[in-house]
Amino acid sequence: MTTYRSPVDEIRHTLRHVADLESVSALAGFEHSDQATVDGLLEEAGRFFDEVFAPLNRDGDLVGSVRNDDGSVTTPPGFVDAYRRYVEAGWSTVGAPVEHGGGGFPWLVNLALQDMMTAANFSFSLCPILTQGAIDALLHFGTEQQKETYLRKMVTGEWTGTMNLTEPEAGSDVGALTAKAVPADDGSWRISGQKIYISWGEHDLAENIIHLVLARTPDSPPGTKGISLFLVPKYLVNDDGSLGERNDVHSVSLEHKMGLKASPTCVMAYGDQGGAVGWLVGEERAGMRAMFAMMNNARLSVGLEGVSLAERAYQQALAFAQERRQGRAAGAEPGESSPIVDHPDVQRMLLEMRSGIAAMRGLCYRNAAAIDHARFAATEEERTAADQMAALLTPLSKSWSTDLGCELTSLGIQIHGGMGYIEETGAAQHFRDARITPIYEGTNGIQAIDLVGRKVPMEGGAVIRRHLAAMRATATRAADDPALSGAAAHLHGALDALAVTTDWLLEDGADPARRLPGASNYLEMLAVTTGAEILLAAALSDGGEDPAILARFFAANRLARVPGMAAGVTEIGPELAAGRSRLLAAP
């Protein structure tokens, strides 16, 4: 098996030529995140993840996390030590605010580190990423005292965090959840109910776990309007900060999964012994608002998982293709077999991977930069524009990067031939791991609904039109470059198609029955076009050979299909309706 190496050069390139790190580090408060400093961080963090996290990935898959009879969970060999070193090195603190012990770096830089961590060990990465989500919620909505008590140790990683939304009857429909919270005399609450699929709900990496739990308070209205957010620590925290009593929250079982095996996915029982002690975070019945506030970040993190897993699969597939000999490629000596990387179809698969990864990475990083600008740009106007751009890009990052992540990790298997299907090579792990990413953190179907229902209609369509116009400008610039003019023509073509479908969505599609059938297809059209525009813009900015090759290949191979996808947005609705009553009817 090949050793994974963090793609520091690609990441640096994306930061510079796609996400415009320079403009992010020019924002007030980010002066310390200049290119040289960020380079230093990338290199050392990359080395750390390559050497400490990556070697545990395989055993993590083979051994997995295991639940013991007493309800405790044991992580795979090496995880405890690696996590201790991660905490010691302080990598979890980079993006957190300075006043809570963080490094105060832009989200963009944090995402770049996350990219390397996730590729090195996906299962592992979920633990810090969920903690980050919980930190985010507390930063936005926690009381001063909650921040004081919990944030610092969560920022260092000494304590980890979880997100508890899902219940057996409440998956995509969060509003259906039934977990209960009743007030106690002392201002705290007693939480009871069952949560399922809770990632890192129980484990042995940290001394305390801070659960954020959605539950219903007495007399709440049904649906999402009646949901509140609670903080429930595994161990109650004494006034002096030391750990006190064990709280009434336990993992009752672990799921057996297709992949992501080292990440314990727990069924959590709250209040079996009378009620878990919890505290309200934010206002009562404002739980969904809290979720929305952290949603962009969390969804972007999951989108990035598609990128990172595809990167890991790509490195392995490339190394395999250079070693494995089979058949004779054109031009090879007679009697000699060629490495399969010399066969055009294998080259095509590898370039699909490489260009797809570059496009997805660009999309996610640009999304992160928009989040930074939305928070710290100088004027209200700039902040609003950036916030809208982040809102528009987030469902694209989440959905497209995870769908393509599955496709490309599958292609990684294909490049291995039969060996790819044999677990021994480890190629299959990346595909099995990637398969969760289109499902959790809002299924990709839900993302598409969000895009056509909420994001495209923002400001009466002005936001999406602004995005299309910016891409048009790139196409026009690229058309003047002889090396890129062909790709620019494809981009113009895709934008023409998008202009028509977008108008259709905004007018005819105002009726959900008309816009929902093609929502996922529209999302893919927009994402592929955005990815292609990113590669073109990067090629223009970099001026080098390699980025131009990637941009041209992606344009011919994928972008050129976009106009043909428009029918899938506007024409399939009636067929779905007809199919539902005939083909999809119960026999």
The contact set with other proteins (CB under 8 A) reads 5, 32, 37, 40-41, 44-45, 47-48, 51-52, 85, 88-91, 93-94, 103
Q: Hey, what long-range contacts does 411-414 have (CB within 8 A, 24 or more apart)?
A: 411/313, 411/317, 411/349, 411/352, 411/353, 412/310, 412/313, 412/314, 412/316, 412/317, 412/353, 413/313, 414/349
Cβ nearer to ligand FAD, comparing 27 with 198: 198
First to last CA, the chain: 49
Q: Which stretch binds ligand FAD (CB under 6 A): 29-37, 340-348, 437-445, 555-563?
A: 437-445
Contact set for ligand FAD, span 45-84 (CB under 6 A):
none
Residue whose CB is less far from ligand FAD, 425 or 520? 520
Residue 446 binds ligand FAD (CB under 6 A): yes
Cβ at position 37, least distance to other proteins in Å? 6
Q: How many helices (H) and strands (E) does the chain have?
A: 23, 12
List, as one string, the DSSP characters of 506-534.
HTGGGSHHHHSTTHHHHHHHHHHHHHHHH
Q: Which of these segments, 162-170, 234-242, 552-560, 562-570, binds ligand FAD (CB under 6 A)?
A: 162-170
Min CB(92)–other proteins separation in Å: 9
21 contributes a contact to ligand FAD by CB under 6 A: no
Give the Cβ contact number of residue 274 at 10 Å. 9
Q: Shortest approach of ligand FAD to residue 52 CB, angstroms?
A: 24
> C-beta of 28: minimal distance to other proteins in Å?
19
Q: For the CB of residue 443, give the shortest distance to ligand FAD in the complex, in Å.
A: 3
Q: What stretch of H or E contains 401?
A: helix 380-416
- Active-site annotation holds for 158: no
Residue 430 Cβ vs ligand FAD, minimum distance, rounded to whole Å: 16
166 binds, among other proteins, ligand FAD, none (CB under 5 to 8 A by kind): ligand FAD
Residue with tokens 């947005």: 569
In this structure, what token pair is assigned to residue 564? 């043909």
CB of 442 to ligand FAD, least distance (A): 6
Asked if residue 265 binds ligand FAD (CB under 6 A), the reply is yes
- Is residue 160 near ligand FAD by the rule CB under 6 A? no
Nearer to ligand FAD, 257 or 514 (CB): 257
Strand 189-199 to 276-281 pairing: antiparallel
Choose the contact partner of 488 out of other proteins, ligand FAD, none; CB within 5 to 8 A by kind: none
Burial class (CB in 10 A: 0-12, 13-18, 19+), 179: buried
- Position of minimal CB gap to ligand FAD: 171
The structure tokens listed for 415 are: 């490049």
- Residue 5 partner contact from other proteins, ligand FAD, none using kind-dependent CB cut-offs of 5 to 8 Å: other proteins
Give the whole-angstrom CA distance, residue 267 versus residue 166.
Answer: 10
Three-state SS sequence of 542-569: HCCHHHHHHHHHHHHHCHHHHHHHCHHH
Closer to other proteins by Cβ: residue 177 or 205: 205
Give me the torsion for CA of 396, 115, 443, 260, rounded to 10°. 160
| The length of the chain, given as a count of residues | 587
CA–CA–CA angle 39, 396, 315 (5° rounding): 50
The 3-state secondary structure of 201-227, one letter per residue: CCCCCCCEEEEEEEEECCCCCCCHHHE
Q: Determine the angle formed by the axes of helices 79-89 and 122-141, rounding to 10 degrees.
A: 50
- Rounded Cα distance between 558 and 356, Å, is 9
The DSSP secondary-structure symbol of 4 reads P
Which window, 438-446, 463-471, 486-494, 563-571, contacts ligand FAD (CB under 6 A)?
Answer: 438-446
Find which of ligand FAD, other proteins, none residue 198 binds, CB within 5 to 8 Å per kind: ligand FAD
User: Measured from the CB of residue 7, what is the shortest distance to other proteins in angstroms?
Assistant: 13
Asked if residue 257 binds ligand FAD (CB under 6 A), the reply is yes
Q: Which is nearer to ligand FAD, 261 or 558 (CB)?
A: 261
The single residue among 177, 198, 487, 560 that binds ligand FAD, judged by CB under 6 A, is 198
Catalytic residue selected from 305, 441, 524, 533: 441
Nearer to ligand FAD, 165 or 497 (CB): 165
Which residue numbers are catalytic? 441
Using CB under 6 A as the criterion, which residues of the chain lie in contact with ligand FAD when the complex forms? 163-166, 171-172, 197-199, 257, 260, 265, 436, 439-440, 443, 445-446, 449
